[in-house]
Amino acid sequence: MENLKKSKSEMIMDIATKRGLIYPSSEIYGSKAGFWTYGSLGTKIKNKWQNLWRNFFLSLNTNFYEIDDCTIMPKKVFESSGHLKNFTDPLTECEKCHFRFRADQLLEDELKLDIAGLKEEALTKLIRDHKLKCPKCKGNLMDVRFFNMMFDIKVGATGDDIMYLRPESAQSPYLAFKREFEATRRKLPLGLAVIGRVYRNEISPRQGFFRLREFIQAELQIFFDPDKVNEHENWNEVKDESLIIFSDKKLKKITCKELNEKLKIPKFYLYHMTKVQEFYLQVLEIPEKLFRFRELNQEERAFYNKIHFDIELNLETLGGWKEAGGVHYRTDHDLGGHQKGSNTKLEVTIDEDNKVKRFIPHVLELSFGVDRNVWALLDIFYKEEKERTLFSFPNKLAPIDAAVFPLVNKDKLPEIAEKVFLELFKQGFTVFYDDSGSIGKRYRRQDEIGTKNSLTIDFDSIKQNDVTLRDRDTMQQVRIKIKDLKENLNKIKN
């Protein structure tokens, strides 16, 4: 009962570390903030999320594909992309304890001010005007300076060759564009997705599993003809759909048609926003009240984005609305930059209605942080009840399809249970066998990690060739013939 005094975040973290969902990386040597391991169960949830993402977004268009790339890239890539110059966060340091803080976060936390887009001098002035001190030791804070968040590494024996760990997966499709455009028969729109690791030297990776230094992004870069930004072949399918939008400090539901006509948001952009919303509400089954798009103004937007809506989820463990992804209209910023920097033609020539058009494609980016989304699932589906805690994950996200228990460890029950367990395992289900402790405790252990189905072999099973199937959420039990298990589990799996 001592547990009940813990915060929701602590409760989830306790379960996550104890049960093999996530835990600090290199833990036995004392881990570093911002580096985490996905354990055996966490990897299953992450992979399920990634597969749902892959299946959903790559099926939006027959010309969308996935690629995979190195995470270490030459310096020139980031000179051309602008990251070497602009991928910075404001830093302030305590003169006494030398702890470093992200100045914007510190000011936001301490003064509750919205300080997006302020430069070094303005941030320093705010610190001085409000006499802000180091939150750790009350020492004086140094002037704010910008700090580049990329990790550099020395490559080769001489150590002269400096390369960089990619800070976003997006650069890979831009560098691959020329080859893929040729290989896929020169058609636009062309979508190139990457699910992969990226690295950012975050100044203060606080908030547990939310701000990491090594993390995974799932991003889809869609290359298209800028003349066609206000069209989409499936516009009619989405034009009457309402999007949940937070703007001007208000939450609104606005149809795509209205957003297009009144706010001049292009149809190509809106079509994909609708699909992002559908992914969250229908595929991941996130409750509608916990999802919204938030429009970013010019000061808040990344330097390359023309239109930018963040995907936000309301997460109790993190104190409210948090960014889980974004929909970014990056124009020709990236291909243009790489064309110039690499001296390689990245513009395309397209024959349309007997007219030859030559242009640099524009990019619409759908960007998601996988780890933040995994944490969001833990936050959103976690429940505390009188006798138990549970994750009420939709089946398609639950790490285990079914747990199998013999009611007692005698009278042939373990033999039957093991047979059922192995049969399901061979059929491709993720199953877990547990024969220790009371049946009630075994149910609780499965509830705690979100297993939807628990199968118990009891004395009636011997005569009837059946099992009881107990549902995690309702705790109701039904009897099912062993021969029908595969079909039943498949039905509830999706």
**From candidates 90, 191, 326, 406, binder to ligand ATP by CB under 6 A:** 326
Percent of the chain that is helix, strand, coil (3-state, to 5):
35, 30, 35
Q: Which of 190, 212, 404, 420 binds ligand ATP (CB under 6 A)?
A: 212
Give the amino acid at 304.
Answer: Y
The residue with its CB nearest to ligand ATP is: 369
Interface residue with ligand ATP among 69, 180, 323, 347 (CB under 6 A) is 323
Least Cβ distance, residue 152 to ligand ATP (angstroms) = 18
DSSP string, 55-66: HHHHTT-TTEEE
Q: Which stretch binds ligand ATP (CB under 6 A): 40-48, 64-72, 154-162, 317-325?
A: 317-325
Q: Which of 215, 280, 432, 443 binds ligand ATP (CB under 6 A)?
A: 215
Q: Does 200 bind ligand ATP (CB under 6 A)?
A: yes
Q: Please report the DSSP string for 8-53 in residue order.
A: HHHHHHHHHHHTTSEEETTGGG-PPTT-EEE-HHHHHHHHHHHHHH
DSSP 483: G
Question: How many chain residues interact with ligand ATP (CB under 6 A)?
Answer: 15
Give least dist CB 45 to ligand ATP, A: 16
Angle of helix 171-183 relative to helix 333-342, nearest 10 degrees, comes to 80
- Please, which of residues 59-118 interact with ligand ATP by CB under 6 A? none
* Closest CB to ligand ATP among residues 196, 369: 369
Range 332-350 burial, b when 16+ CB lie within 10 A, else e: bbbbbbbbeeeeeebebee
In a 10 Å sphere around its CB, with 0-12 CB exposed, 13-18 middle and 19+ buried, how is residue 364 labelled? buried
Distance CA 400, CA 403 (A): 7
Cis peptide before 189 (omega within 30 of 0): yes
Closest approach, Cβ 244 to ligand ATP, in A, equals: 17
Which value, in Å, is the radius of gyration of the alpha carbons in the chain?
26
166 counts as binding ligand ATP under rule CB under 6 A: no
Nearer to ligand ATP, 37 or 184 (CB): 37
Q: Which two tokens stand for residue 106?
A: 């510190």
Would you give the binding string for ligand ATP spanning residues 370-399, x where CB under 6 A is met?
Answer: -xx---------------------------
Residue ranges with strand state E in 156-189? 161-165
Query: Which lies closer to ligand ATP via its Cβ, residue 372 or residue 442?
Result: 372
Q: Is 258 in the site for ligand ATP (CB under 6 A)?
A: no
Q: Is 324 in the site for ligand ATP (CB under 6 A)?
A: yes
Among residues 44 and 372, whose Cβ is nearest to ligand ATP? 372
> Which residues sit at the interface with ligand ATP, rule CB under 6 A?
168, 200, 202, 211-212, 215, 217, 323-326, 367, 369, 371-372
